[in-house]
Chain A
């Protein structure tokens, strides 16, 4: 019965509904609505209480569509695979039929149902969800079980539902995609709007150009900033660049074309109204997709105002630190050139005062001129660019540079430096520079054409149209001026700049004064040191404990020691063996008095004569802290003085002798001549008497000749002779006299050739040997010949060796008294009652005529040695 009714119920109706549903799939666009239709159609078909379509998603089943679900049904709750009827259908992959009380299955959800059928929804093997129908009725409210046909019908509906769900998924995916695309589009639209508004609303001027610098785009910021409208600007080139910046602009452009991005260049642009504004400019290349540079973008910001406040704020803060740093560096630098370079670097560095060029002029009071002392700055635009880019590349700041100046070599060859150093401005010339100096006030020349006395010739060399001059005032005295300009950047010099420079210049003025003072002191010290070192007098300084504090070159040479071996030792340790007496005398004087003294001292040890001077060093409170000792070896001078003295005496003597000779010779001549005549004519005893007169006259005439021989300076004729032979001939002649005094004659001779006038030299030797014999009795007279080699400086100044013959004549006689020693070679000096006193004087004269030297050593009671030094023949020229 059930089967029949089922057939009646399902067949015609079921097919009609399936057909309608299939049509609905085609007609209804909304898959969710379609699923609900399917759910309700199935309920209608089976007269069921309700139906549920679930979709599978990530292992769970979610309610998607339903029909007649009670309100208590928890629609939100997902059920897991394997759970309840739907879960079982999925996990077992078949249609499950539930009959209350019969089945092991239990509905997962709390639905009070009698029976149900649940089937999985699949597309191919792909699980999409489940379709459950519950509580089938017979049309009159009685619940009846599901039949096999019902299951088939439901599976048929399930197929349609699966197609719909699949369609739903696809639809949802497409919808999602469309939504995302819309969102993307919206975002892009918003960004573009944002960018445009950014470009339009930014205060920065954004300008793009092609590679020829022809303007392509021009934003509102640019319109506002420069005054040109977009229409006016686009298509133009170098619209904003002032003439004087064109060169630099081209350098910038070249850089960007190479791919560089120039960030925050501070430069100057010209507005439509012709005025100049400070801008911070960032230039970057515009590239196409392939990366080729096709244009240049420039973003510029008006920093006139910012610069002003910035300068005010930042500078005020920085200035203090910088001034402290610079002034500490300056204080530690006493070298004037380095100091000047530091000052000018501080004035011209970007993180210093930032001027383009600077020069220092210092007052030369002696010559009454302002003299250029140092200048820094680039010589032209090219150099300016190079320097600034190098500095920014090396990332050097002021501190580094100042340190470099302190330690590094000082370069002084720049164009500006040379130019500056060649400048000299007479003070009586009226110019801004001299006025600034005289009036001690700064001048800010904003336009040289508008200010009187602002463009003297030298300023024209610099090409400067605006500059400032600040006086350097130290202790209320102007010592020079600082000149600055911004020739390359054209940045106007503000009154603020001047104020800051004023603060700076008062510091540098005193630093310069210090350095100049130091330089003067240093110079004076150097000069003193030079004097100290170069004087030939020995000079040494001791402290109160006689410790040597300093010695000069003469001392080190004399001692043959280095200064460092001498300094620090006690003075008597070092000097006692050199000039003991001087040292003793110094100490006596220093101990007794603080007065300086000068004295001549004969040092018995060394036989030298010293002129010594000793002056105390008094400190600022009047206490002696040491002594300066000067020792001059005047031995040679003394000898020279004696020789001069002697030759003066000789000259006087010569004149007297000539007179005497004339006066005496004539009467003698008469006496002698007539006596000769008498002798011839007289006989016997009278003839003898006349003969006596003749003899005596001859003797007198001989004395006369001796005297004259001494004073005359006739040239001697020399011949080469063996010294032995000369000595032999003399001793032959004198042997009888030597024997008469019971003296022994020892000869130690060797052949040695000399070039002498034989008669004169013999006379000299005879005088000495005679002399030795006369002062010796029962003793020994020794004559020896030696040869020695000495160093001499020849006429060309070359050091050469020379051989000398040394003739020694020693006796063992009574010796010469010490007080007589200095006078023994004096004419008319004699200790014998019957001597003329001319013998040794003539001897010395003769030896000296031969270019030789004679000296005497004598000890009273022991004997005397004469030494004659004579150049040997082989060395004579």
Chain B
């Protein structure tokens, strides 16, 4: 199971990679929107976690491109705060509020993967 983790903060990528690899996933990381699209195309991940605020291309546009390329790949949006209503119009599969406690994120990933299988 290959996960693509996208965030502009390298420390966060490092944390997520470590935590999620602990859970048994293969984790590749991208620290910009552009890199995320490239990796998404090249590496063909099974699931993507995507930060909304990124300097080059914002997460929303990345999400849209990914859904156009491969609509079946689930994408989890990571938000700095609760954007629930705004997200309801977007076609992400889930959203998780960023927190140092990764329990929610891990649970969500597990849930989506189990549902997809």
Contact = CB atoms under 8 A, between A and B. Distances in A.
B94 interface: no
Range class of the B interface residue count: 10 to 19
Interface in A263-289: none
Interface string B52-89: 01000000000000000000000000001111110000
A42 interface: no
A141 interface: no
Given A673-B15, A677-B19, A708 B82 contact: yes
Interface stretch (B23-31, B38-46, B97-105, B107-115): B97-105
B79 to A, nearest CB: 10
B101 A676 contact: yes
Contacts of A671: 100
A656 to B, nearest CB: 13
Contacts of A526: none
Contacts of A666: 9, 11-12, 80, 98
Contacts of A676: 100-102
Interface string A664-681: 011111111111110000
Given A669-B12, A670-B11, A694 B100 contact: yes
Interface string A686-712: 000000001001100100110011001
A662 interface: yes
A768 interface: no
A673 B84 contact: no
Nearest to B8: A666
A623 interface: no
Contacts of B101: 672, 676, 698
A668 B12 CA distance: 10
Nearest to B83: A712
Given A673-B15, A677-B19, A661 B84 contact: no
B19 A672 contact: no
A701 B12 contact: no
A703 to B, nearest CB: 12
Contacts of B91: none
A261 to B, nearest CB: 102
Interface string B1-34: 0000000010110010011000000000000000
A661 B100 contact: no
Contacts, number: 65
Nearest to A694: B100
Contacts of B53: 662
A853 interface: no
B12 A670 contact: yes
Contacts of A143: none
Contacts of A714: 82, 84-85
Contacts of B11: 666-667, 670, 674
Interface string A537-565: 00000000000000000000000000000
A714 B9 CA distance: 27
A324 B37 CA distance: 105
Nearest to A715: B85
Contacts of A672: 99-101
Contact of B100 (A698, A709, A712): A698
Contacts of A715: 85
Interface in A710-727: 712, 714-715
Contacts of A665: 80-81, 98
A109 interface: no
Nearest to B85: A714
Contacts of B98: 665-666, 669
A603 B51 CA distance: 55
Question: What is the predominant secondary structure among interface residues of chain A facing chain B?
Answer: helix
Given A666-B9, A670-B11, A677-B19, A712 B99 contact: no
A715 B82 CA distance: 12
A24 interface: no
Nearest to A668: B100
A431 to B, nearest CB: 75
A658 B19 CA distance: 26
Contact of B81 (A667, A698, A705): A705
A682 to B, nearest CB: 15
B82 A709 contact: yes
A669 B53 CA distance: 15
Given A670-B9, A670-B15, A673-B15, A658 B81 contact: yes
Most buried by A among B9, B19, B80: B80
A674 B15 contact: yes
B9 to A, nearest CB: 5
Most buried by B among A666, A675, A698: A666
B87 to A, nearest CB: 11
Contacts of A670: 9, 11-12, 15, 100
Contact of A669 (B18, B82, B84, B99): B99
A708 B12 contact: no
Contacts of B80: 658, 661-662, 665-666, 708
A669 B15 contact: yes
Most buried by B among A668, A670, A697: A670
A670 B15 CA distance: 7
Most buried by A among B82, B85, B100, B102: B100
A697 B101 CA distance: 10
A709 B84 CA distance: 12
Nearest to A663: B80
A780 B84 CA distance: 41
A669 B81 contact: no
Nearest to B103: A676
Contacts of B15: 669-670, 673-674, 677
A377 B85 CA distance: 80
Most buried by A among B19, B81, B102: B81
A677 B100 contact: no
A669 B80 CA distance: 10
B81 A701 contact: no
A200 to B, nearest CB: 120
B32 to A, nearest CB: 15
A701 B100 contact: yes
Contacts of B81: 658, 661, 665, 704-705, 708, 712
Nearest to B53: A662
B82 A673 contact: no
A668 B85 CA distance: 25
A857 B19 CA distance: 53
A661 B85 CA distance: 18
Contacts of B97: 705
Nearest to B13: A670
Contacts of A669: 12, 15, 98-100
A715 B84 CA distance: 9
A708 B79 CA distance: 12
A673 B9 contact: no
A743 B9 CA distance: 49
Nearest to B11: A670
A694 B11 CA distance: 16
A275 to B, nearest CB: 102
B95 to A, nearest CB: 13
Contact of A675 (B82, B99, B100): B100
A712 to B, nearest CB: 6
Most buried by A among B19, B53, B85: B53
A673 B85 contact: no
Contacts of A673: 12, 15, 19, 100, 102
Interface in A74-114: none
B11 to A, nearest CB: 4
Nearest to A713: B85
17 contacts: A662-B53, A662-B80, A665-B80, A665-B98, A666-B11, A666-B12, A666-B80, A666-B98, A669-B15, A673-B15, A676-B100, A677-B19, A698-B100, A701-B99, A705-B81, A708-B82, A715-B85
| In the A-B complex, the 6 residue pairs with the closest CB atoms | A672-B100, A708-B81, A670-B11, A673-B15, A662-B80, A673-B100
Given A672-B99, A708-B82, A715-B85, 9 more contacts: A665-B81, A669-B15, A670-B12, A674-B11, A676-B100, A677-B18, A677-B19, A705-B81, A714-B84
